[in-house]
C-alpha cells in the first residue's frame, strides 16, 4: 500500500471541485474523516470500497498502484 500522504494527494485530486461535505454524505463518513484522509493524517480502512466506487475507480488504483490513474 502507498503511504498516507500519497493516498491523500490522490483523494484530493479525485475530489476536485466537489465539496468534502458532498463526498462525506455520499460515502457515509464525517467531513473530518475526509479531511484527515486527504491531509495524510489517516489511511481509510473500511471505507476504501465506498470511496473507490464513488470516484469510479478501483481500490487498487487509488490505494495500491504506484502509478497514479487519477
DSSP 56: T
Taking the CA atoms of 6, 1, 42 and 22 in sequence, report the sign of the dihedral they define. Answer: positive
- What pLDDT, on a 0 to 100 scale, did the predictor assign at position 70? 60
37 and 8 in contact (C-beta within 8 Å)?
A: yes
- What pLDDT, on a 0 to 100 scale, did the predictor assign at position 68? 63
pLDDT in tens, 10-69: 999 999 999 999 999 999 999 999 999 999 999 999 999 999 999 999 999 999 987 765
- Sequence-distant (6+) residues with CB within 8 A of 35 are 20
- What pLDDT, on a 0 to 100 scale, did the predictor assign at position 7? 95
pTM for the structure as a whole: 0.90
Q: How confident is the model at residue 2 (pLDDT cuts 50, 70, 90)?
A: confident
Amino acid at each position: 500500500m502507498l503511504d498516507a500522504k500519497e493516498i491523500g494527494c490522490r483523494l484530493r485530486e479525485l475530489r476536485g471541485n466537489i465539496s468534502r461535505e458532498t463526498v462525506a454524505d455520499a460515502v457515509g463518513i464525517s467531513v473530518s474523516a475526509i479531511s484527515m484522509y486527504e491531509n495524510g493524517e489517516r489511511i481509510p480502512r473500511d471505507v476504501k470500497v465506498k470511496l473507490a466506487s464513488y470516484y469510479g475507480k478501483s481500490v487498487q488504483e487509488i490505494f495500491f498502484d504506484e502509478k497514479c490513474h487519477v
